[in-house]
Amino acid sequence: GAVVSQHPSWVICKSGTSVKIECRSLDFQATTMFWYRQFPKQSLMLMATSNEGSKATYEQGVEKDKFLINHASLTLSTLTVTSAHPEDSSFYICSARESGTFKNEQFFGPGTRLTVL
């Protein structure tokens, strides 16, 4: 089956620093990837849609200058949390949709736990 990986699986950083999270589709190409965040005991909230070769589409209320997304290739999207603060601590999950299909199915990565001190 389609596999999506994320790196790192967890990260702890100091307030004010930037953190980069990678999302890779391992055995398929993904024109479109999605970034979600999940707060404890809450659902996944879509942050942005990452499109290979073009700018990401951000959801309302998500700061594009704070959450930088780069979809450099058909198998890699990165999310950089810039100048992280404790309120950015969360579980970040990416998903990828296989290119060239109409399956409308997304495959999820295992998530990255970010803790900002």
Q: Rule CB under 8 A: which residues touch another protein?
A: 32, 34, 36, 42-46, 49, 51, 57, 93, 95, 97, 102, 104-111
Of residues 32 and 82, the one with the C-beta less far from another protein: 32
Least distance (Å) from another protein to the CB of residue 95?
A: 8
Of residues 109 and 116, the one with the C-beta less far from another protein: 109
Of residues 19 and 111, the one with the C-beta less far from another protein: 111
Report DSSP letters for the chain, one per residue.
Answer: ---EEEE-SEEEE-TT--EEEEEEESSS--SEEEEEEE-TTS-EEEEEEEETTS--EEPTT--TTTEEEEEEETTEEEEEE-S--GGG-EEEEEEEE-TT-----EEE---EEEEE-
